[in-house]
């Protein structure tokens, strides 16, 4: 399996200022063949959704360490839908307690990645989801 | 998603993807005629890290207005190992990413080794007819790439930085003979004045066709430099309107685009044929490829 030809936006909404994890994922996805766009720190869901549309990505990966993952995922889903881009797949990674996973899935996250997973597992899950 | 979106921006974006992902046959089907519009194209090139993206952010802001929406195509290299890429230009264009009058699209170079993407010509054509007034193309300058970009754009801006050895290298490579405008960027760094003076001397010898390329100094926080660049681009456009050989330019573009399509077609043939296809004498291989070249 490969992510060749897939475009993925890695975005950091919210206020936390650590993007090492986001950058590591970005590089791993590149190595798996994807074209990866990174937004930089502290982007609003609205900004992220617009970039996702202009870049016509297949998926958006949100990296969230701030604890406000519920609000940020919901808001990003809403913004994507508003731009008629609700079909863009959404993943979320970061410090996300297990008890929140169901809620995030119901809100529209197709994958939830935590520090317990290896990078390879994350890439494999994204490959399986975007499927080629 | 199927069918057109109610969001025009998404339609444009997906139209570009269709061209970006199209194989050669599809590309030809989608672009069977040359675009009727002919948007002015500005090419911004220079060594990795010269400050191209940061400069485009400021330039686009100056050049866009209600009647002139600006599209930016930014090419970043694909990894030769995985074919993947980190498309990092946009992050430097933050300041304009929210502007409804500016559209930015990041594209991977894929197989191409000339700093452009192998489908840049097709993508540039696909930008026509979407209500833009101008296209800015960012490409990494890798040696001879500057010659290629010349074919595809109307105004070539070469970005150099002080003390990088750039001036000498550029002279060696003959690059200092092809730009329409030179920019000494990061002019806050020492050596900028000297470098600008050196380039000016070269540029003065470059005016055989009547256009003497200006040398402009820019610094991140100095609006005057970007305003001067904006003016220089307008001046070049005006000059070009009177002096450019339109037929020759159109032919050069047609040649570049078609050669690119044929080269991609050969890649498609080789990939489909499998490795052992290559176990032939050069003549036999050549004939075998040529016999499969048709659509
Ligand atoms: N000192 C100084 N640094 C600058 C200036 N403009 C940009 N930079 C820095 O130069 C670095 C590269 O900037 P980019 O705009 O990404 O350069 P680029 O040419 O687009 O880079 P690539 O696309 O990777 O080839 C960044 O760290 C910028 O902060 C400037 O005027 N002065
Ligand atoms: Mg850049």
Task: Give the tens place of pLDDT for each residue, B47-82.
Answer: 889 999 999 999 999 999 888 999 999 998 888 888
For B10, name the nearest residue in chain A, comparing CA atoms only: A53
CA of B115, nearest ligand number: 1
- Three-state secondary-structure class, residue A93: strand
* CB-based contact A54 B78, cutoff 8 Å: no
Name every residue in A having a CB less than 8 A away from some CB of B: 3-5, 7, 26-27, 29-40, 47, 50-51, 53-56, 83-85, 87
Cβ of B58 closer than 6 Å to ligand 1, yes or no, is no
Q: Among all ligands shown, which has an atom nearest to the Cα of B183?
A: 1
Q: What letter would DSSP give residue A100?
A: G
Instruction: Identify the residue among B80, B84, B88 best suited for mutation to test binding to A, counting A beta carbons within 10 A and taking the highest.
Output: B84
Task: Reply yes or no on whether the pLDDT at B113 is more than 70.
Answer: no
Query: Are residues B98 and A50, on separate chains, in Cβ contact within 8 Å?
Result: yes
pLDDT number for residue A52: 96
Ligand 2 centre from B259 Cα, in Å? 26
| Mutational pocket test of ligand 1: of B91, B92, B97, B184, the residue with most ligand atoms within 8 Å of the beta carbon | B92
**Dist. CA B139 → ligand 2 center (Å):** 8
The sheet carrying A111-113 orders its strands as A111-113, A89-94, A59-64, A7-11, A35-38, B85-87
Stretch B283-291: mean pLDDT: 94
CA distance, residue A121 to nearest chain B CA (Å):
18
Does residue B245 sit in helix, strand or coil? coil
Among the listed residues B78, B71, B67, the one whose alpha carbon sits nearest the alpha carbon of residue B42: B71
Mean pLDDT score of chain A: 90
Compute the distance from residue B159 Cα to the ligand 2 centre, in Å.
Answer: 11
Q: Distance between CA atoms of B252 and B179, rounded to whole angstroms?
A: 17
**Could you report the predicted ipTM of this complex, rounded to two decimals?**
0.91
Q: What was the pLDDT predicted at B169?
A: 64
For the domain made up of A7-129, the CATH class stated in words is: alpha beta
Q: Do A55 and B13 touch (CB under 8 A)?
A: yes
Each domain of chain A, given as residue ranges in start order, spans 7-129
CA dihedral B154, B59, B142, B205 (to 10 degrees): 60
Torsion from C-alpha of B271, B273, B279, B283, nearest 10 degrees: -100
* Full-model pTM: 0.91
User: Terminus-to-terminus CA distance in chain B, angstroms?
Assistant: 29
Closest Cα of chain B to A99: distance in Å? 32
Number of CB atoms found within 10 A of residue B220's CB: 14
Reply yes or no on whether the pLDDT at B207 is more than 70: no
- Rounded Cα–Cα distance for residues A87 and A68 (Å): 23
Q: Tell me the average pLDDT of chain B.
A: 86
Q: Do A34 and B84 touch (CB under 8 A)?
A: yes
**Which residues from chain A sit within 8 angstroms of residue B8, using beta carbons?**
none
- Model confidence pLDDT, tens digit, residues A2-55: 899 999 999 989 777 778 888 899 999 999 999 999 988 888 999 999 999 999
Whether B178 has a pLDDT exceeding 90, the answer reads no
CB contact under 8 A, B90 and A37: yes
Cβ atoms of B111 and B98 within 8 Å: the answer is no
* pLDDT score, position A90: 96
Token code pair at residue B236 = 């070049």
Percent of residues, chain A, with pLDDT higher than 90: 61
Torsion of CA B293, A3, A20, A62, to 10 degrees: 120
Question: What pLDDT is attached to residue B235?
Answer: 96
Taking the C-alpha atoms of residue A32 and residue B97, their distance in angstroms, rounded to an integer, is 27
pLDDT at B114 over 70: no
Confidence of residue A1 (pLDDT cuts 50, 70, 90): low
Q: What SS3 state is found at B102? A: strand
Do residue B10 and residue A83 have CB atoms under 8 angstroms apart? yes
């Amino acid at each position: 399996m490969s992510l060749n030809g897939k475009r993925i936006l890695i975005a950091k909404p919210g206020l936390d200022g650590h993007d090492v994890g986001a950058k590591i994922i970005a590089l791993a996805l590149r190595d798996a063949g994807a074209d990866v766009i990174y937004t930089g720190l502290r982007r609003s869901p609205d900004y992220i959704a617009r970039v996702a549309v202009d870049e016509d990505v297949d998926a958006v990966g949100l990296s969230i360490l701030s604890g406000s993952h519920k609000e940020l995922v919901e808001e990003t889903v809403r913004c994507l839908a508003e731009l008629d881009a609700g079909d863009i797949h959404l993943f979320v990674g970061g410090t996300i307690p297990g008890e929140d996973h169901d809620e995030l899935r119901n809100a529209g996250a197709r994958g939830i990645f935590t520090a317990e997973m290896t990078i390879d597992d994350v890439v494999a899950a994204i490959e399986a989801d975007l499927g080629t | 998603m199927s069918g057109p979106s109610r969001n025009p921006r998404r339609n444009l974006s997906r139209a570009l993807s269709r061209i970006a992902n199209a194989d050669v046959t599809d590309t030809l089907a989608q672009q069977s005629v040359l675009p009727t519009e002919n948007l002015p194209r500005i090419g911004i090139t220079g060594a990795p890290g010269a400050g191209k993206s940061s400069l485009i952010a400021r330039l686009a802001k100056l050049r866009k207005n209600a009647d002139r929406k600006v599209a930016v195509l930014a090419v970043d290299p694909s990894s030769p190992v995985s074919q993947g890429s980190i498309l990092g230009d946009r992050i430097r264009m933050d300041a304009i990413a929210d502007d409804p009058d500016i559209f930015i699209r990041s594209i991977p170079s894929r197989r191409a080794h000339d700093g452009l993407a192998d489908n840049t010509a097709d993508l540039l054509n696909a930008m026509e007819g979407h209500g833009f007034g101008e296209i800015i193309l960012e490409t990494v300058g890798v040696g001879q790439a500057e010659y290629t970009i010349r074919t595809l754009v109307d105004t070539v801006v070469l970005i150099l930085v002080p003390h990088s050895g750039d001036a000498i290298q550029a002279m060696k490579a003959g690059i200092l003979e092809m730009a329409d405008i030179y920019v000494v960027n990061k002019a806050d760094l020492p050596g900028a004045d000297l470098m600008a003076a050196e380039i000016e001397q070269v540029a003065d010898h470059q005016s055989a066709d009547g256009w003497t390329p200006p040398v402009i100094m820019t610094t991140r926080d100095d609006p005057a430099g970007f305003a001067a660049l904006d003016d220089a681009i307008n001046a070049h456009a005006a000059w070009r309107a009177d002096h450019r050989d339109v037929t020759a330019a159109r032919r050069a573009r047609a040649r570049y685009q078609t050669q690119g399509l044929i080269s991609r077609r050969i890649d498609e043939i080789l990939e489909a044929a499998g490795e052992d296809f290559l176990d032939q004498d050069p003549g036999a291989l050549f004939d075998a490829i040529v016999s499969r070249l048709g659509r």
